[in-house]
């Protein structure tokens, strides 16, 4: 086997356009045209080319196509965490829309770290992702600069913002939390505890807490800071938070958990401790995920259209990449208070 000496990149070993062309006795460009716009190639040539493609098992090299077209057909998506099921349905919906348009999803999880988000998004840009989808609306300044310099379409998801980078699909977490808290007040609850995530660099978390605070104020209820708990995002976090709340607030009659992990964790803790729900303590959750609706008793919660967020975000990306104008650039997908048994 005489190794052919070459300069530059080494041959890949795969079947190339050139090989197909040789077999079909046409120029490479003709094969290219047969694939891209078959109408511009004679029927005979097309037949020979199709046969050659079938015979060789040729698969076009998207890397080479990307280099010349400046399009990779890849959309980078950064989520805070893969493990938490919250984002699964969003990702699934995005993936489906993208695949329908022959685009591919690049996934990265930031672990709720803005620095990681920046690093991942940077890697996506280095790979020339055609567009980026980010979770939440808080980002490092460097990432904002990077994005504006790159000029790629960006969709922020989850929370609405007054100053979007580009496009936004989300909802007002503040209003949703406000409404749910008001609902508890209307049901006659007066001492309402709160469980949520740490608010630092997480607008979704801080907005929900802010909504809770505003609702209490609007209802003329006192706010007891000791009843506002920031917990780790685990079932145990919810259980532990509930124990703390019961200790601190003897008169506690309701808990608003701004995430299903905490709500379910708190509910299960109540079952274990014999605290009757909702008779002695009402519980409200957020997200309507996991088995919220199937628990005994089923959980009252805020439903967010996760799949729709993914679908719309992907659709906006696709539209923009097709050169279509996207309007409006901010989409409010809303939310819904789901009244079940726990509150």
Partner DNA sequence: TTGTAAGCGTTATCAA
Partner DNA sequence: TTGATAACGCTTACAA
Q: Applying CB under 8 A, which residues contact a second copy? A: 8-10, 12-14, 57, 59-64, 66-70, 72, 74, 81-85, 88-89, 91-92, 95, 99, 102, 104-109, 120, 122-123, 125-128, 146, 149-151, 235, 239, 264-265, 268, 271-272, 290-291, 294-296
Taking the complex as a whole, how short is the minimal distance between the CB of residue 53 and DNA, in angstroms? 11
Closest CB to a second copy among residues 108, 249: 108
Question: In Å, what is the CA distance from 95 to each residue of 28, 126, 315?
Answer: 33, 21, 11
Question: In Å, what is the CA distance from 183 to each residue of 72, 255, 337, 343?
Answer: 48, 12, 9, 9
Taking the complex as a whole, how short is the minimal distance between the CB of residue 303 and DNA, in angstroms? 45
CA 196/CA 219 separation, integer angstroms: 21
Residue 199 makes CB contacts below 8 A (sequence gap 6+) with 205, 206, 209, 230
Which of the listed partners (a second copy, DNA, none) does 45 bind, with a CB threshold of 5 to 8 Å by partner kind?
DNA
By CB under 7 A, how many residues form the interface with DNA? 36
Burial 75-106 (b: 16+ CB within 10 A, else e): bbbbbbeeebebbbbbbebbbebbeeeebebb
Note whether 14 binds DNA by CB under 7 A: yes
Per the CB < 8 A criterion, the answer to whether 314 and 75 are in contact is yes
Residues from 120 through 159 that contact DNA (CB under 7 A):
none
Which of the listed partners (a second copy, DNA, none) does 72 bind, with a CB threshold of 5 to 8 Å by partner kind?
a second copy
Residues from 42 through 101 that contact DNA (CB under 7 A):
42, 44-45, 60-61, 64-65, 67-70
Note whether 18 binds DNA by CB under 7 A: yes
Note whether 311 binds DNA by CB under 7 A: no
300, two tokens: 């009252």
Q: What SS3 class is residue 254?
A: strand
Which of the listed partners (DNA, a second copy, none) does 44 bind, with a CB threshold of 5 to 8 Å by partner kind?
DNA
Which strand (E) or helix (H) includes residue 105?
Answer: strand 104-109
Closest CB to DNA among residues 122, 293: 122
Which of the listed partners (a second copy, DNA, none) does 33 bind, with a CB threshold of 5 to 8 Å by partner kind?
DNA
Intra-chain end-to-end CA distance of the chain, in Å: 77
Taking the complex as a whole, how short is the minimal distance between the CB of residue 149 and a second copy, in angstroms? 6
The DSSP annotation for 38-101 comes to GGGS-HHHHHHHHHHHHHHT----HHHHHHHHS---EEEEEES-SSSGGGHHHHHHHHHHHHHT
Which of the listed partners (a second copy, DNA, none) does 18 bind, with a CB threshold of 5 to 8 Å by partner kind?
DNA
Q: What SS3 class is residue 138?
A: coil
Note whether 27 binds DNA by CB under 7 A: yes
- Residues in contact with DNA by CB under 7 A are 5-14, 16-18, 26-30, 32-33, 35-36, 39-42, 44-45, 60-61, 64-65, 67-70
């Amino acid at each position: 086997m005489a190794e052919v000496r070459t300069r530059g990149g080494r041959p890949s070993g795969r079947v190339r356009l050139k090989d197909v062309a040789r077999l079909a006795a046409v120029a490479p460009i003709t094969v290219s045209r047969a694939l891209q716009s078959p109408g511009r190639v004679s029927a005979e040539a097309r037949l020979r080319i199709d046969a050659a493609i079938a015979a060789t098992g040729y698969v076009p090299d998207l890397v080479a196509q990307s280099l010349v077209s400046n399009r990779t057909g890849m959309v980078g998506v950064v989520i805070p965490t893969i493990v938490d099921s919250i984002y699964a349905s969003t990702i699934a919906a995005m993936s489906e829309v993208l695949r329908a348009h022959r685009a591919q999803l690049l996934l990265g999880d930031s672990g709720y770290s803005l620095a990681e988000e920046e690093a991942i998004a940077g890697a996506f840009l280095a790979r020339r992702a055609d567009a980026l989808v980010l979770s939440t609306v808080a980002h490092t300044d460097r990432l904002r600069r990077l994005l504006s310099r790159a000029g790629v379409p960006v969709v922020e998801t989850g929370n609405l913002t007054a100053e979007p980078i580009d496009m936004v699909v989300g909802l007002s977490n503040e209003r949703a939390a406000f409404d749910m808290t008001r609902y508890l007040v209307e049901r006659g609850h007066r001492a309402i505890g709160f469980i949520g995530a740490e608010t630092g660099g997480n607008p979704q978390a801080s907005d929900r807490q802010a909504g809770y605070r505003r609702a209490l104020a609007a209802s003329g209820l006192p706010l007891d800071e000791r009843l506002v708990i920031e917990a780790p995002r685990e079932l145990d976090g919810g259980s532990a938070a509930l124990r703390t709340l019961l200790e601190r607030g003897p008169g506690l009659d309701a808990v608003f958990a701004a995430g299903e992990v905490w709500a379910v964790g708190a509910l299960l803790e109540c079952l274990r401790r014999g605290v009757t729900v909702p008779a002695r303590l009402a519980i409200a959750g957020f997200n309507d995920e996991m088995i919220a609706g199937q628990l005994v008793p089923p959980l009252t919660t805020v439903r967010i259209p996760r799949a729709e967020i993914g679908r719309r975000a992907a659709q906006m990306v696709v539209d923009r990449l097709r050169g279509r104008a996207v309007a409006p650039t901010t989409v409010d997908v809303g939310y819904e208070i789901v009244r079940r048994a726990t509150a």
